[in-house]
């Protein structure tokens, strides 16, 4: 397993990160413990969670992902051997999806300080290695939006949010801070504030990145490299479409798309056609489609870690195995040709 620096910190994280958002929903504790143990045995030292997990978010299960990870940390005694990342929930949408978290989430100082204490209690640890903002307070481009439309809001200032993160670091409750679902302007504003105010410098940006959605390359990839704020890539398999299991409209029993209507981001006709093409290319090259798609994400120069997730041990083994796959120049050219044909079919 390769280990890469987390931003400008002295923290080294595995090139593959274990995502845990199914823990407490599709995966019960026994499954979670088995996944965590196997991942660790394969050299993975990086685990990503969030206070709102598991998904889909429900009042009855909120925080159960962190509880699963916390129980495993206590029972395994592996806290010193893993890098734990979690996130504070972003602004509550008009739909009120997160009214059950602190009565409706905002990225204010008080709410962030309350959120970290709740996460630490559930994780059964005194600190996390990386504490992230799950999505911006302001209205901007995230969760699939590409066309920017300026909408002035009463958003909490980034300065207040970063100051709160600084308090958390000063108190020893987090070693580093990061952002997620952010834009180029948001990243640069966080960096500017850190330099001007002597506040923590963000170490990472967790955004979607996969063969169906390479929008990160447009404005953020150069910044990630030059500013040493590497990508923690989520949805590297585009909700599983790039594994090939949904080919021809299939919906395997127990799969995310079969269980939940909310996961439709990659289900438009163009994305499905693109995924079919990528899966076919992999099979022509005698490669596992999921491993090819994951190897591409991990190999990008702006990627710090590739966040994989699985509901079965078989899937987990396949996904982790992608770290040893090196894509040759001919295959990379073929991937670029498909990218030219299907350019960001599912943002």
Residue from 3, 29, 38, 53 carrying the catalytic annotation: 53
Is 148 part of the annotated catalytic residue set? Answer: no
Residue 248 has pLDDT above 90, yes or no: no
Inform me whether the pLDDT recorded for 261 exceeds 80: no
pLDDT value at position 221?
A: 98
pLDDT band for position 263 (50/70/90)?
A: low
pLDDT tens-place string over residues 50-92: 999 999 999 999 999 999 999 999 999 999 999 999 999 999 9
pLDDT band at 260 (very low <50, low <70, confident <90, very high): low
C-alpha distances (whole Å) from 202 to each of 6, 38, 130, 186, 227 are 10, 30, 10, 11, 10
- What's the pLDDT score for residue 137? 96
Report the pLDDT value the prediction gives residue 255, as an integer from 0 to 100.
Answer: 67
Give the CATH architecture of domain 3-243+293-329. Alpha-Beta Barrel (3.20)
What separation in angstroms does the CA of 77 have from each of 70, 124, 190? 10, 11, 35
Indicate the average pLDDT of the chain.
95
CB 12 within 8 A of CB 3: yes
Helix ranges, 108-246 (H): 109-123, 158-170, 184-197, 216-219, 221-226
- Give the pLDDT of residue 25: 95
Domain spans, the chain = 3-243+293-329
């Amino acid at each position: 397993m390769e280990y890469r620096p987390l931003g400008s910190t002295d923290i080294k994280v595995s090139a593959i990160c274990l995502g845990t958002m199914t823990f407490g929903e599709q995966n019960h504790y026994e499954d979670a413990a088995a996944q965590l143990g196997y991942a660790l045995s394969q050299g993975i030292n990086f685990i990503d969670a969030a206070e709102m997990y598991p998904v889909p978010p429900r009042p009855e299960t909120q925080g159960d992902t962190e509880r699963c990870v916390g129980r495993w940390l206590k029972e395994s005694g592996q806290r010193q051997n893993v890098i734990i990342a979690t996130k504070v929930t972003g602004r509550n949408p008009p739909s009120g999806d997160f009214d059950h978290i602190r009565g409706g989430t905002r990225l204010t100082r008080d709410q962030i300080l309350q959120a970290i204490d709740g996460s630490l209690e559930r994780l059964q640890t005194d600190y996390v290695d990386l504490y992230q903002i799950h999505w911006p307070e302001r209205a901007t481009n995230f969760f699939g939006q590409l066309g920017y439309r300026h909408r002035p809001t009463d958003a909490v200032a980034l300065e207040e949010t970063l100051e709160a993160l600084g308090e958390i670091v000063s108190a020893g409750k987090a070693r580093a801070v990061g952002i997620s679902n952010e834009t180029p302007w948001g990243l640069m504003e966080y960096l500017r504030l850190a330099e001007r105010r002597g506040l923590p410098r963000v170490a990472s940006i967790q955004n979607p990145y996969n063969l169906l959605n390479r929008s990160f390359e447009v404005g953020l990839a150069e910044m990630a490299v030059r500013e040493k704020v590497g990508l923690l890539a989520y949805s590297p398999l585009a909700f599983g479409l790039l594994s090939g299991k949904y080919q021809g409209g299939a919906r395997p029993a127990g799969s995310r798309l079969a269980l939940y209507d909310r996961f439709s981001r990659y289900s438009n006709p163009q994305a499905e056609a693109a995924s079919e093409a990528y899966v076919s290319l992999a099979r022509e090259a005698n490669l596992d489609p999921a491993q090819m798609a994951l190897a591409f994400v991990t190999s990008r120069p702006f990627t710090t870690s590739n966040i994989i997730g699985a509901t079965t041990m078989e899937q987990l083994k396949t996904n982790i195995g992608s770290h040893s796959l090196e894509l040759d120049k001919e295959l990379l050219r073929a991937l670029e040709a498909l990218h030219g044909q299907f350019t960001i079919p599912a943002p």
